[in-house]
Structure formats: C-alpha cells, structure tokens
Amino acid sequence: MKWWQVPAYRIQKFKKSTLITPIIVLVLVVTMAGAVGIGCASLRNRQKAYDAEIEKYQNLIASEQARSEEIAEYALYTKTTAYYEEVAREKYRLVHDNEIIFITD
C-alpha cells in the first residue's frame, strides 16, 4: 500500500502518535533534570555545612592539644623545687632563713 492509498483516519492517528511521544519524553527528561539539579544543590549545601563543622572540630582539637601541652608543662613544673618554694611562700607564708619580710598596712 502506498502512502496515497492509506485512509485519512490512519494518517491522522499516525501523526498524533508521532507528536505525543517526543513531547512526553521531553517532559520526562526535563522533569528528571530538574530533580537531579535540586538534589545536587541540596547536597552542595549539606557539604558546605559539613565542611564548616569539620573546621570547627579541627579548631577545637588544636586548642585541646595546646591545653594538654600546657598541662604537661605544668605537671613538670610541679615536680621542681621552685614550685615547692612558691607554694610554701603563698600558702604557708614560709621564708628562707636569710630573707627579710616587710609588712605594709
């Protein structure tokens, strides 16, 4: 059967079906691209929040490491005689035999 021999209703039905399919596919592709774009944007925002949180915790770790170094230094200082003399002077008001104390009121 040649194209001029096909009845008119078959030609109209054929034209409608060929137009609808690409439109449906185009709408689905655009919808899926939009969903993927929105998902990527939300993931980027979440990644920025995680990066900020990581930086905050790294700063916290660094400050705690500095504090632990100070504590270690203080622990070494408490084992020296200078520390014992300082505590004796401040807490117990003890002095060496050859020192003179001036008291002011």
- pLDDT tens for the chain, 105 residues long, are 665 666 665 555 555 566 788 889 999 999 999 999 999 999 999 999 999 999 999 999 999 999 999 999 999 999 999 999 999 888 988 888 888 877 786
The pLDDT, as a whole number, for residue 15 is: 57
DSSP 7: -
10, 3 Cβ separation under 8 angstroms:
no
- Distance separating the N- and C-terminal Cα atoms of the chain: 127
Residue 99 is assigned to a structural domain of this protein: no
What does pTM read for this prediction? 0.55
Structural domain total, the chain: 1
Q: What is the residue range of 48's domain?
A: 8-71
Q: Which three-class secondary structure state does DSSP give residue 92?
A: coil
89 in Cβ contact with 95 (< 8 Å): yes
In a domain, 20, yes or no: yes
Q: DSSP state, 60?
A: H
Let me know if residue 82 belongs to a domain: no
Cβ-count burial 6-25 (b if 16+ within 10 Å, e if not): eeeeeeeeeeeeeeeeeeee
